[in-house]
Amino acid sequence: MTQSRVPRGVTAGGQFKATGRSEPSPLDGPGTFTDYDLYVALDRYTGVRTSNGDKAVLTAYRDAGWSPELLQRAHSFGLYKWSLGRPGFVEKNPDAVDRIVALEGAPAPRIGQDAVKRAVEKASPDDIRAAVTSWHSHQDVDRFQADLLVAGNPDRENAPDAERYLALIRGGVPDSTLDNKRFEQYPVEDVVAAHQVESESWKAGNLLRRGWTAADVTTYGKGVVRMWAENRDELRSSNLTPQDARTWARVAGSKFTPALAAEMQSAGVTPEEAKAQRQANPKWSGAQVASSLMHAPVSEHIAKKVSSEMLTRVAANPRLLSAVDTAWTPHEGIKNEDVECIERLVADGTVDPKLIGSASRSGIPFAQMRPDHFESPMRMWNAGAEGREAFDAPHRDEWIRRGRRGGRLVWPWTADDFLAD
pLDDT band for 340, please (50, 70, 90 cuts): very high
Rounded CA separation 70/99 (Å): 10
Q: So what's the pLDDT on residue 162?
A: 81
Q: So what's the pLDDT on residue 85?
A: 59
Residue 84, Cβ neighbours under 10 Å: how many? 21
Q: So what's the pLDDT on residue 155?
A: 65
Q: By the 8 A CB rule, do 126 and 101 touch? A: no
Q: So what's the pLDDT on residue 62?
A: 83
| CB proximity list for 366: less than 8 A, separation 6 or greater | 327, 334, 338, 341, 342, 360
Amino acid at 20: G
For every residue of the chain, which 3-state class applies, written as one string?
CEEEECCCCCCCCCCCCCCCEEEECCCCCCCCCCHHHHHHHHHHHHCCCCCCCCHHHHHHHHHCCCCHHHHHHHHHCCCCCCCCCCCCHHHHCCCHHHHHHHCCCCCCCCCCHHHHHHHHHHCCHHHHHHHHHHHHHHCCHHHHHHHHHHHCCCCCCCCCCHHHHHHHHHCCCCHHHHCCHHHCCCCHHHHHHHHHHCCCHHHHHHHHHCCCCHHHHHHHCHHHHHHCCCCHHHHHHCCCCHHHHHHHHHHCCCCCCHHHHHHHHHCCCCHHHHHHHHHHCCCCCHHHHHHHHHCCCCCHHHHHHCCHHHHHHHHCCHHHHHHHHHCCCCCCCCCHHHHHHHHHHHHCCCCCCCHHHHHHHHCCCHHHCCHHHHHCHHHHHHHCHHHHHHHHHHHHHHHHHCCCCCCCCCCCCCHHHHHHC
Rounded CA separation 289/306 (Å): 15
Q: So what's the pLDDT on residue 12?
A: 47
Q: So what's the pLDDT on residue 114?
A: 77
Q: So what's the pLDDT on residue 343?
A: 93
The string of pLDDT tens digits covering residues 270-328 is 999 999 999 999 888 888 999 999 988 888 888 888 988 889 889 999 999 999 999 98
Q: So what's the pLDDT on residue 239?
A: 86
Rounded CA separation 174/171 (Å): 9
Greatest mean pLDDT among 17-26, 60-69, 253-262 lies in 253-262
Q: So what's the pLDDT on residue 24?
A: 42
Question: 153 or 391: which carries more pLDDT confidence?
Answer: 391
Is 224 a residue whose pLDDT tops 90? yes
pLDDT band for 187, please (50, 70, 90 cuts): very high
Nearest to 62 by CA among 92, 95, 97, 23: 97
Q: So what's the pLDDT on residue 160?
A: 62
pLDDT band for 196, please (50, 70, 90 cuts): very high
Q: What mean pLDDT comes out for the span 124-150?
A: 86
Look up the pTM and report it: 0.64
pLDDT above 90 coverage of the chain, percent: 33
The string of pLDDT tens digits covering residues 175-184 is 778 878 788 8
Q: So what's the pLDDT on residue 54?
A: 62
pLDDT band for 407, please (50, 70, 90 cuts): low
Q: So what's the pLDDT on residue 81?
A: 54
Is 8 a residue whose pLDDT tops 60? no
Q: So what's the pLDDT on residue 56?
A: 74
Q: What mean pLDDT comes out for the span 159-171?
A: 82
Rounded CA separation 90/59 (Å): 10
Q: So what's the pLDDT on residue 2?
A: 46
Q: So what's the pLDDT on residue 158?
A: 55
pLDDT band for 99, please (50, 70, 90 cuts): confident
Q: By the 8 A CB rule, do 101 and 125 touch? A: yes
Rounded CA separation 413/421 (Å): 10
Is 15 a residue whose pLDDT tops 50? no
